[in-house]
Amino acid sequence: MTFKRYPKTYSLRFSLTRNVFDRLLRANQVREEYQHAYHFLNKATQIIRDLKEDFSWDEFENRFFARQQKTGPVDFMESLSEYAEKVKQEGRIKTFQSFHNTISRVRMFHKNKRLPLHQLTTEWLSAFDASLREEGLRVSSVGIHTRNLRTIFNWEISKGRVKQEYYPFGKNKYKPPSSTRVKKALTYEDVLKIFNHVPASTTGSRCRDMWIFSYLGNGMNIKDLALLRYENIVGEEIHFVRAKTLRKTMENQRQIQVHLHPQMKVIIDMWGKSKPEPKSYIFDIMEKGPYSPLQECRNVNQAVKTINKYMKEIGRKLELSKLPTCNFARHTYSTVLKRANVPIEVISEALGHFSVKTTEIYLDSFESDKRAEISKLLL
């Protein structure tokens, strides 16, 4: 839709993968999906006609997304779609994409039938879990989909639309699976090799420097790096709040303070804007704004993809113990500090974690030579 030359898009609350579409086409069930889409298009058209010259995006969205009060049981697919649209409107694009994928999986498993929330039993969840595994999904992916279902159930309980007695998760019920996290930390020696390596191309050099900046910057992720502005530089430090925590209340937001390492200054001078202004982004991942949450997500994803590609090439060329990606910078930062006997509470604060338990996930095990050294202390 476009209003005063400003376009906006809205989810129709359902989606089909190519495989699902082909299956429905063979079963002559595509017409039903078309009717769903036609319903929303008619609804949008009628709202526009009713508003006429009083049209505004806010009023349109209030009417378009308004739910009618129902006396019957809550339909789980509607709840999934409503929640997915909610997080999309909040700018949480990756969360929206995750729930969008879960919707497709549930539709495929449940054959597009209505699914009253109270019918989402422990047995149904176990069968859904088994179906995903049969399709070849990894344990981590199965866990993401089933945790999304749990989120919806908790959301509906909090709104009083379903009774707690129907809750199918927890002890002696269904528990979303979790896989053992792969440790993504390089050794100190591998980090030095990356620092001393001179890539053959300009793009390779830039990607290596972005990885180094992330590593030195308390392991900041690429999105936070991309959103850094010159106003975040305060004296000899960089102050920022993680984008991941911006949805929390102001009193719970934790500002991360990063010492501006000399090498970080070199990287800013090399790849930063030639005419820095307080409000301008330091690096050109975002270039000019403002961006929609979707475009912001696309820019960051593209940057991550490019950095990962060149860092893996560097890893192969240097014959590192592991092929590094963007995530390795954060894990390596925390693990190097742990091996230097820095208290875990200090590491946790530097990473911007609210719990030491979260920090422990990032910490890799000691190398074999360190384990041998510790063993000597026993006798």
pLDDT tens, position by position, for the chain (379 residues)?
Answer: 777 666 777 666 556 666 666 665 555 555 555 555 666 777 788 888 877 777 777 677 767 765 444 445 678 888 888 899 888 888 888 899 999 999 999 999 988 778 888 888 999 999 999 999 999 999 989 999 999 999 999 988 887 888 888 899 998 999 999 866 667 788 889 999 999 999 999 999 999 999 999 999 989 999 999 999 999 999 999 999 888 776 654 445 678 888 999 999 999 999 998 778 898 899 989 876 667 788 888 899 999 999 999 999 999 999 998 999 999 998 888 888 888 888 888 888 788 777 777 777 666 554 555 556 544 654 4
CATH class, range 188-376:
mainly alpha
Q: What pLDDT is stored for residue 274 in this prediction?
A: 75
**Quick check: helix, strand or coil at residue 32?**
helix
For the beta sheet containing 255-259, the strands, ordered from the edge strand earlier in sequence to the opposite edge, are: 233-234, 237-241, 255-259
User: What residue spans define the domains of the chain?
Assistant: 2-166, 188-376
Q: What pLDDT is stored for residue 230 in this prediction?
A: 94
- Phi and psi (nearest 5°) for 237? -135, 160
Q: What pLDDT is stored for residue 249 in this prediction?
A: 44
* Concatenated DSSP letters of 94-155: HHHHHHHHHHHHHHHHHTT---BGGG--HHHHHHHHHHHHHTT--HHHHHHHHHHHHHHHHH
Q: Exposed, middle or buried: residue 353 (CB in 10 Å: 0-12, 13-18, 19+)?
A: buried
DSSP state of 182: P
336 with 191: CB under 8 angstroms? yes
Q: What pLDDT is stored for residue 55 in this prediction?
A: 76
Distance, first Cα to last Cα, the chain? 74
139-158 vs 122-134: helix axis angle to the nearest 10? 150
Q: List the beta bridge partners of residue 257.
A: 239
* Concatenated DSSP letters of 204-229: HHHHHHHHHHHHHTTT--HHHHHT-B
| Rounded CA separation 181/135 (Å) | 22
Neighbour tally for 296: CB within 10 Å: 20
| Rounded CA separation 43/63 (Å) | 9
What is the dihedral sign for C-alpha 142, 148, 150, 152? negative
219 with 327: CB under 8 angstroms? no
Q: What pLDDT is stored for residue 163 in this prediction?
A: 84
pTM, whole model, 2 decimals? Answer: 0.67
